[in-house]
Amino acid sequence: MTTATVAHGRVSTLSRITALGRAELTLLLRSKASLFTVLFLPVIFTFAMRQPADELDLAGTGLTVGTVLVPASIGFVLIFAVYSNLVGVYVARREELVLKRLRTGEANDAELLSANALPSMIVALVQSVLLLVGGAAVLDLEAPQRFDLVVVGVLLGLVMMSALAALSSRFAGTTESAQLIPLPMMMVSMLGSGVFVPLEVLPDRLAEICRFLPLSPVMELVRGGWAGTLEGGDIAAALVIGLAWAVGSVLAVRRWFRWEPRS
């Protein structure tokens, strides 16, 4: 009988997340479509924005082409590499009954969902650093004024976008529809959260509303932190809105995430 050994040798949270994360990374590296979304789309979109950014009227905003483009690239990383990619990951794992099978094992729900997101988050983080450094070099950008705000912004974005991806996966029944489900959120984020066009350039009334979109506080913190244009009240507002989205979406996932295919 093995009862005597029960108390010993319990596998740790770290071991579980590592094992799952490693498997997930292997799967990411084997999927050409995912790799394209994760590695190339953010870069392609950033390059495509070069021309329009040059033509923006930035007078009086405190921004430059560099502080428009480089933070935008972070936005693209969060939208493509994290959000859009993870919707597909969660749907695929659910529809293949992988999540159901994993839940019969020792990993808890939080470990399962974060391990699924882990490789994409790490890739996104590395990409963000490369884009920031590379972009800054190419565009002759000065170092960020408030590096801490940039970091907080990126971290909030990673958590929020992963959780929103998990939540969105609920609405896709197949891996095919998983490609359509992210589109509304992607469009709203690119247009309304200051990725394509900084909120500073939008009409005030519209900008006020757009500040409450999920990715907006992230972009504000990254762009404003870099350019040094963000002041006390605005920082606090961005942090509160960003935190609210991050916490709210995580709680929503706990409540509404779908673990099994609709029968």
Binding site for another protein (CB under 8 A): 1-3, 5-6, 8-11, 15-16, 18-20, 22-23, 26-27, 30-31, 92-93, 96-108
- Tokens standing for residue 46: 């950033």
Classify the phi-psi angles of 97: left when phi > 0, otherwise alpha if psi is within -120 to 50, otherwise beta: left
Sign of CA dihedral 10, 15, 17, 23: negative
- Tokens standing for residue 161: 């976008």
Nearest approach in angstroms of CB 7 to another protein is 10
Nearest approach in angstroms of CB 11 to another protein is 5
How far apart, in Å, are the Cα atoms of 256 and each of 169, 170, 193? 10, 8, 25
Q: Which is nearer to another protein, 52 or 105 (CB)?
A: 105
Q: Please list, residue by residue across 209-235, b when 16 or more beta carbons sit within 10 angstroms of its beta carbon and e when fewer do.
A: ebbebbbbbbbbbbbbbbbebbeeeeb
Distance of CA 249 to the CA centre of its chain: 12
Nearest approach in angstroms of CB 175 to another protein is 11
Nearest approach in angstroms of CB 24 to another protein is 8
How far apart, in Å, are the Cα atoms of 83 and each of 75, 124, 158, 263? 11, 10, 9, 26
Q: Which is nearer to another protein, 41 or 98 (CB)?
A: 98
Which residue in the block uniquely carries the two structure tokens 């891996």?
Answer: 175
- Tokens standing for residue 83: 């959000």
Q: Which is nearer to another protein, 39 or 244 (CB)?
A: 39
Q: Which is nearer to another protein, 20 or 74 (CB)?
A: 20
Q: Which is nearer to another protein, 78 or 87 (CB)?
A: 87
Nearest approach in angstroms of CB 164 to another protein is 23
- Tokens standing for residue 201: 């350039």
237: closest CA among 200, 211, 209? 211
Q: Which is nearer to another protein, 92 or 250 (CB)?
A: 92
Nearest approach in angstroms of CB 100 to another protein is 6
